[in-house]
Amino acid sequence: MRKRTRDIQKALSESGYRITQSRLAVIEVIMRARHSLSPEEILARARKIEPSVGLATVYRTLDVLHAEGYLERVRIGNKGYTLACEEKSLHFHLICERCRTVIELQSNHSSDALLAQLRAAGFKSRKNAVEIVGLCAKCQSPE
Ligand SMILES: [Zn+2]
Ligand SMILES: [Zn+2]
């Protein structure tokens, strides 16, 4: 188990969530993933760690992780995917619609200024990731 998974397990149980082996497997899969995953993909990977995981557990665990700010949901086409993201400041998710790799671009001064304007407008944001969908460098090159 990765350290990050253990940290999250600890934080969630301190918040009163019951963390079963199934939920732990789901958390581990998301923390390990290099690209965004659909619930079905998370299920398939989690079952390799804990064979008794069911799809309902995947959805419930995703809801908990989302509510606690450990992940982001992205949409590619009409399908929803999930990725580990705990960044609270303004940043960008460059999402490849072919391989579903998500590249995180951290904020710079201009986006900090944007965030300051947003606060000045009295808006309290909960999620600060801007999604940009397209093709990554690898997927643009002909095979
Ligand atoms: Zn992010
Ligand atoms: Zn790609």
Q: How far is the CA of 52 from the centre of ligand 1 (A)?
A: 30
- Full residue range of the structural domain in which residue 67 is found: 3-82
> Quick one: 106 and 43 in the same domain?
no
Q: How far is the CA of 99 from the centre of ligand 1 (A)?
A: 17
Instruction: Please tell me the pTM assigned to this model.
Output: 0.81
> Quick one: 21 and 72 in the same domain?
yes
pLDDT tens string 5-52:
999 999 999 999 999 999 999 999 999 988 899 999 999 999 999 999
Separation between Cα atoms, residue 51 and residue 53, nearest integer Å:
6
pLDDT tens string 80-108:
899 888 877 788 889 999 998 888 887 66
Lowest mean pLDDT among 25-29, 112-116, 118-122: 112-116
Report yes or no: 106 and 93 within 8 Å, Cβ to Cβ. no
Ligand sitting nearest the alpha carbon of 96: 2
Token pair listed for 107: 């904020």
> Quick one: 33 and 54 in the same domain?
yes
Pairing mode of beta strands 91-96, 129-134: parallel
Q: What are φ and ψ of residue 55, in 5° steps?
A: -65, -35
